[in-house]
Amino acid sequence: MLLTNLKILAVILGTVTLYTVLASAIPQIESEVPQELTLGADFSAEELVAAGEDLYQGAGGCVACHGLGTRAPNLLTDHAGTGLIGARCAARETGKDCKTYLHEALVQPLAYVVEGFGPIMPDMSRTLSDAQIWALVAYLESLGGTVDVTADDVGAGADPAGEAADAPNGAAAAAGGGAIAGGSTDATEIWAAAGCGACHQLGGEGGAVGPALDGLGATRDRAYIRRAILDPAADLAPGFEALGGMMPAAFGQSLSAAQLEALVDLLAEEG
Amino acid sequence: MIRGGGRWRGWAALLGAMALVAVGVALAEPAWAQTAAPAGREYGDFPIVGGRIVVWVSAQIHLMFAAFVLGVPMFAVVAEAIGMFGGEKRYDRLAKEFTRLLLIAYSATAIWGAILSFALVIIYPRFWTHMMEIFEISVWFYLGLFFLESFTLYLYYYGWERWSTGRAKMAHWGMGILLNVWGTAVMFIADSWLSYMMSPAEGVTADTPPGDIGVWSAIVNPTWMPINIHRIIANVVFGGAIVGAYAAFRFLNASTDEERAHYDWMGYVGNIIAIGALIILPFAGYYLGREIYEYNQQMGITMMGGFMSWLWIIQAFLIGVLFLAGNYYLWVGMQRIPGAERFAPYTKWMLLVLVLGVIVWATPHTMIASRSELAAMGGSHHPFLGVLGVMSAKNTAVNLMILTTFLSFLLYRRANKTPVVPWAKTGTRVQGMVFLVSSAVVLFYGIYGYFVPAVQRIGFSVYQVLAVLITIVVVVAIDFAMGRGAESRGAIRWGQMPPRSQYALFVLAVTFTWLMGLMGFARSGIRQHWHIWEVMRDTSEWAATPALGFAAQVITACVLIFLGLIGFIFWLGGLVEKPVLADVRADAGGAVALAGANADPARGQ
């Protein structure tokens, strides 16, 4: 009986050992967590491209679709005879340079679905910070094109305190900034310093150029408000479509994450 | 008739008390938990292995026990019904023996559920609080159903002898059905929690206060029902495999021919249940996968083509082992069936189909590749493997494997029978034609799939599946009709099974258990660094989803812990009550033919 039970044990251990060895012998790929990009104030284009490539191959998860060319356009090598992405991106949308197109394609992918492919790409700003997205843009530009992403675009890693990493989802998009209102996180000071009241009305005061924000929190959630600040063109209020592009799209760079959240709080609670 | 009644009652009381304590612990915990999460603390820790491993292992082992205690009652009531309505009381005894295994495993399920809950409260307090705010009311329902399930189980088992005849027996069977209803409802509630983590309702964002999320909308999330269906079938598979291993253990350690014959038969039933349910499991898996894609393409791509793409190669290998071991058991088993030798020449061809099928199914296709790797391959796919690795080839392979396995069952069933109906030859030819036509359909769409766009190709799998299902239904119907009054070539010599066949049952059980751990990792891992997909980010030090090698080590640890515990439980079960084999033999009217005996040649199986 002892021998029989030892044989049973050997079969069990042998079977699980086989599976464990097999699973350990294949390529080991870990799903990384996107880390906040920390670049020095005077980073080089090479550093930015290298950071973008790391994201592309790793935590960004880009290669699952864009490395193969079956689910989405091949961005690593020539795609259907149209050349490398860095060389063809400037011609993709009339009036948009390569940098603008690539950035918008990352944060509003459904607006740029390539013919023959499904609308499957997620908005990368939900998982990556703006600095990370710019790094991706730089990397893609480097594939056959010229890298023209600048420190102004990236925000030059102006997040030494790591505020963005502590911010909730979406807030990470505002990786840089903090210059407005001397870095104050008092929402009313930010409102005044950023000049919001010049166009928007809040608490019965302010201009009438843009939509009044009184009562905004009752109809819109915080994610919508945050997106409206970071990407004003994403959702234009009815009746104000003609003014699209008037509101600066640079608050993602000029506000710190904490400032952005303070402003979102103000509009969600008092708006 | 039960031997050693006093000792049995003592053990039963002890086990009952243990189960109640475990249930009590599990019931007390959620209410305590909501106040236990210290404000502001997001993560706890655990020495040496870290918090995530503790949660992972306790969740996995809890699920393994839960699958067993949910799967076994399903075929216990079916076996009881066969015994009750078909007059074969050996099935009634078998049902009771199944339930006896269930009884002790049930307490282990509750204990591991309590461990999991404590681990979550201590290690993930923020996440726990968030979930409780949404699902609070469902937890109370869960607890109520758990009570009902517990007491129904005890009544079902302990009332077996008391309610064994007439209307009382019918009521007892009804209790078995009720046990399944409660168990399934409990599982559905638990599934809603984990499926919500994968696919929170549309409109829920990181900023949505959990208290504002309707509990019903959270429950009926997009992946809830696919997971429910997949788990119901998988539980049957798992339960059958574990029962088969239990029977193999008893068979190998049996000291009498009666015991060997009984456990040989029990192992056969366990294997039939496991492999039979396994055949339909891929369809449920396909449904779940499709719903994941429907919910979120990115999640689906992460699962099938992202960092998890190699996982499916391992899965294909494991399922290949299951098919091979299940068929091998049947082929070896045919050696104890008079008349089966005429089918022996077909075995090597069936083996060939299965091996080729496994090779094709396990061929890598969509892999994450760097620029240098793409350049080395000369394209996005490997020049040769890329052709075999596509879904057209894989669907064809798996459907042919299913047909082959079904053919093995069919030959096993017919091995010792000679049909006497006048249309027997025609019937056999029709069965053969159906097999040929369905194989041709599967092959045709497999090849045609290479010449059409992906969207159209995906639809072909439906035709292939339908061809296989129709074959199973038609062939079984013909076989039943043909088997009426069939002459026997001799009774199955239960117990005359070489030991190597029993080791195949162990391989099946271990592989099913390991596969369950692997699929648990896949389902949970596709959320990546999110506790709740795109709603609550995992900001702990364990947020990165590990590679498969590390996951395999954790899975192996879970499997060994589970098998160790279930082995101990089965040993305990053996102390409680020995099956009354003489009764079983008498009840079966000699159907359990002993080694060397030929009690009733007319009723071989």
Mutate one of B301, B502, B526, B553 to test the A interface: name it (highest A CB count within 10 A).
B301
pLDDT category at B199 given cuts 50, 70, 90 is: very high
Q: Is B580 on the interface with A (CB under 8 A)?
A: no
Question: What's residue B400's pLDDT?
Answer: 93
pLDDT above 70 (res B13): no
Residue B37 CA to residue B44 CA, distance in Å, equals 10
A269 is written with which tokens? 């609670």
Task: Lowest mean pLDDT of A105-119, A242-256, B340-354, B552-566, name the range.
Answer: A242-256
The mean per-residue pLDDT over the stretch B465-471 comes to: 91
ipTM score of complex: 0.83
CA–CA separation, A2 vs A192, rounded Å?
83
What is the per-residue pLDDT for A218?
Answer: 81
Tell me the chain B residues in contact with residue A69 when contact means C-beta distances shorter than 8 Å: 380
pLDDT band at B473 (very low <50, low <70, confident <90, very high): very high
Residue in the block written with tokens 């923020």: B126
Query: Looking at residues B371-393, what average pLDDT do you find?
Result: 67
CA neighbor of B525 nearest in space, from B505, B504, B548, B491: B548
Chain B residues lying within 8 Å of A121, measured CB to CB: 297-298
Residue, of A215 and B434, whose pLDDT is higher:
B434
Structure tokens at B416: 């010792």
**What are the chain B neighbours of A168 within 8 Å (beta carbons)?**
206-207
pLDDT score of A15: 95
Cβ–Cβ contact B380 with A under 8 A: yes
Token match 């309505």: residue? B85
Residue B417 phi/psi, 5-degree rounding, is -120, 145
B317 — pLDDT class (breaks 50, 70, 90): very high
Contact B547 A29 (CB under 8 A): yes
CB–CB of A71 and B507 under 8 A?
no
- H or E, element range at B452: none
pLDDT at A236 exceeding the cut of 60: yes
Task: Chain B: give the shortest CA distance to residue A14, in Å.
Answer: 9
How far apart CA B285 and CA B233 sit, in angstroms, is 10
User: What angle (nearest 5°) sits at the alpha carbon of residue B155, between those of residues B150 and B156?
Assistant: 95
Residues of chain B contacting A74 with CB distance shorter than 8 Å: 380
Any long-range contacts for A137-140 (C-beta under 8 Å, 24+ apart)? A137/A52, A137/A99, A137/A102, A137/A103, A137/A106, A138/A45, A138/A48, A138/A49, A138/A51, A138/A52, A139/A48, A139/A49, A139/A51, A139/A52, A139/A53, A139/A55, A139/A56, A140/A52, A140/A56, A140/A75, A140/A85, A140/A86, A140/A89, A140/A102
pLDDT for B601 beyond 80: no
Q: How far is B191 from chain A (nearest CA, A)?
A: 25
Q: Which residues on B lie below 8 Å from A75 (Cβ)?
A: none
Residues 350-379 of B with CB under 8 A from A: 366-371, 374-375
Cβ distance A31 to B206 less than 8 Å, yes or no, reads no
Cβ–Cβ below 8 Å for A8 and B548: no
Whether residue B126 lies within 8 A of chain A, CB to CB, comes out as: no
CB B370 to CB A63 under 8 A?
yes
Split at pLDDT 50, 70, 90, the class of B578 is low
Distance CA B503, CA B523 (A): 30
Name every chain B residue with its beta carbon within 8 A of the beta carbon of A223: 205-207
Of A24, A77, A221, which is closest to B371 when you measure between CB atoms? A77
Flag if B371 and A76 touch (Cβ within 8 Å). yes
Q: List beta partners, residue A31.
A: B545
Mutate to test the interface with B, among A32, A55, A66, A68 (most CBs of B within 10 A): A68
Contact B247/B270 with Cβ under 8 angstroms? yes
Cross-chain residue pair A12–B252, CB shorter than 8 Å = no
Please state the rounded mean pLDDT for residues B525-542.
90
Interface A:B, Cβ pairs < 8 A: 153
Contact residues on chain B for A144, CB-CB shorter than 8 A? none
> What is the nearest CA distance from B557 to chain A, expressed in angstroms?
9
Chain A interface, best mutation among B307, B365, B524, B561, by max A CB count within 10 A = B307
The one-character DSSP state at B382 is -
From the list A8, A30, A61, the residue facing B252 with the nearest CB is A8
CB proximity A2 to B under 8 Å: no
| 3 state SS for B353-380 | HHHHHHHHHCCCCCCCCCHHHHHHHCCC
Residue in chain B lying closest to A61 (CA): B306
Nearest to B510 among A16, A68, A77 (CB): A16
Asked if A63 reaches chain B (Cβ–Cβ under 8 Å), the answer is: yes
* Residue B37's pLDDT band (cuts 50, 70, 90): very low
Three-state SS for chain A is CHHHHHHHHHHHHHHHHHHHHHHHHCCCCCECCCCCCCCCCCCCHHHHHHHHHHHHHCCCCCHHHHCCCCCCCCCCCCCCCCCCHHHHHHHCCCCCCHHHHHHHHHHCHHHHCCCCCCCCCCCHHHCCCHHHHHHHHHHHHHCCCCCCCCHHHHCCCCCCCCHHHHCCCCHHHCCCCCCHHHHCCCHHHHHHHCCHHHCCEECCEECCCCCCCCCHHHHCCHHHHHHHHHCCCCCCCCCCHHHCCCCCCCHHHHCCHHHHHHHHHHHHHCC
Which residue shows structure tokens 């390569």? A98
Between the alpha carbon of residue B478 and those of residues A49, B431, B469, B487, B605, the distances in Å are: 67, 7, 14, 17, 18
What the block records as the tokens of B428 is 């056999």
pLDDT of B375 over the 90 cut: no
More confidently predicted of B309 and B560: B560
pLDDT at res. B587: 46
Per-residue model confidence (pLDDT) at position B165: 85
User: Where does the pLDDT of residue B372 fall: very low under 50, low under 70, confident under 90, or very high at 90 and above?
Assistant: low
pLDDT at residue number B355: 95
Buried b (16+ CB within 10 A) or exposed e, B519-529: bbbbbbbbbbb
Looking at per-residue pLDDT, the higher value among A259 and B532 belongs to B532
What pLDDT was estimated at residue A76? 76
**Cα angle B196-B200-B202, degrees, rounded to a multiple of 5:** 150
Whether the Cβ atoms of residue B217 and residue B201 lie closer than 8 Å to each other: yes
Look-up: residue for tokens 């000792």? B7
Contact B179, B149 (CB under 8 A): yes
Q: Cα–Cα distance between B325 and B331 in angstroms, integer?
A: 10
Angle at the Cα of A4 from the Cα atoms of A2 and A10, rounded to 5 degrees: 105
The answer to whether residues B515 and B523 touch, using CB atoms and an 8 Å cutoff, is no
Please report the pLDDT score of residue B604 as a whole number: 38
Smallest CA–CA separation between B317 and chain A, in Å? 9
Distance from first CA to last CA of chain A, Å, rounded? 78
pLDDT reported for residue B515 = 95
Within 64-83 of A, beta carbons closer than 8 Å to B belong to 64-65, 67-71, 74, 76-77
Q: What is the mean pLDDT of chain A?
A: 76
Asked if B99 and B160 count as a contact pair (C-beta separation under 8 A), the reply is: yes
d(CA A231, CA A225): 10
Answer yes or no: do A61 and B511 touch at CB < 8 A. no
Tell me the shortest Cα–Cα distance from A58 to chain B, in angstroms.
Answer: 9
CA distance B204 to chain A (A): 10
Whether the CB of B549 is below 8 Å from some CB of chain A: the reply is: yes
* Window from A147-156, B83-92, B398-407, B474-483 with minimum mean pLDDT: A147-156
What's the pLDDT at B25? 43
Structure confidence at residue B404 as a pLDDT band (50, 70, 90): very high
Question: Is the per-residue pLDDT at A250 higher than 60?
Answer: yes
Those residues whose C-beta lies under 8 Å from the C-beta of residue B19, and which sit 6 or more positions away, are B103, B106, B107, B110, B150
Q: Which residue on chain A is closest to B558 by alpha carbon?
A: A16
Best of B548, B554, B560 to mutate (most A CBs within 10 Å, chain A): B548
* Predicted local distance difference test score (pLDDT) of residue A156: 44
**Residues of B in Cβ contact (< 8 Å) with A26:** 310, 313-314, 548-549
Backbone dihedral angles phi then psi of residue B531, each to the nearest 5 degrees: -65, -50
Using an 8 Å Cβ cutoff, are B286 and B252 in contact? no
Question: Which DSSP state fits B212?
Answer: G
- Whether residues B544 and A33 touch (CB distance < 8 A) is answered with yes
Give the torsion through C-alpha atoms of B594, B600, B601, B605, to 10 deg.
-70
Average pLDDT estimate for B208-232: 92
Contacts of A127 in chain B (CB under 8 A): 534
Tell whether A162 is within 8 A of chain B (Cβ).
no
- Average of per-residue pLDDT across B175-191: 95
Best residue of B506, B539, B558 to probe chain A, by most A CBs closer than 10 Å: B506
Tell whether the model's pLDDT for residue B588 goes beyond 50: no
How many C-beta neighbours within 10 Å does residue A21 have?
Answer: 11
Give residue-wise pLDDT tens across range A162-180. Answer: 333 333 333 333 334 455 7
The answer to whether the CB atoms of A19 and B525 lie below 8 A apart is no
High-pLDDT (> 90) share of chain A, %: 10
Long-range CB contacts for residues B119-122, cutoff 8 Å, separation at least 24: B119/B46, B119/B51, B119/B54, B119/B55, B119/B58, B120/B33, B120/B55, B121/B29, B121/B33, B121/B36, B121/B37, B122/B36, B122/B44, B122/B46, B122/B51
How close B377 comes to chain A (CA, Å)? 11
Q: In 10 A of CB B425, how many CB atoms? A: 10
Q: Which pLDDT score, from 0 to 100, does residue A44 have?
A: 77
How buried is B185 (Cβ within 10 angstroms: 0-12 exposed, 13-18 middle, 19+ buried)? middle
Q: How many CB atoms lie within 10 A of CB B561?
A: 16
Provide the pLDDT confidence category of residue B34 given band limits of 50, 70 and 90: very low
pLDDT averaged over every residue in chain B: 84
B552 near A CB under 8 A:
yes
| Residue B29 in this model has a pLDDT that exceeds 50 | no
**Mean pLDDT score, B108-125:** 94
Angstroms from B152 CA to nearest CA on chain A: 34
Token pair belonging to B254: 């049996």
Angle between helices B125-158 and B5-36 (to 10 degrees): 160
In this complex, the residue of B506, B528, B548 whose CB is nearest that of residue A28 is B548
A233 touches chain B (CB under 8 A): no
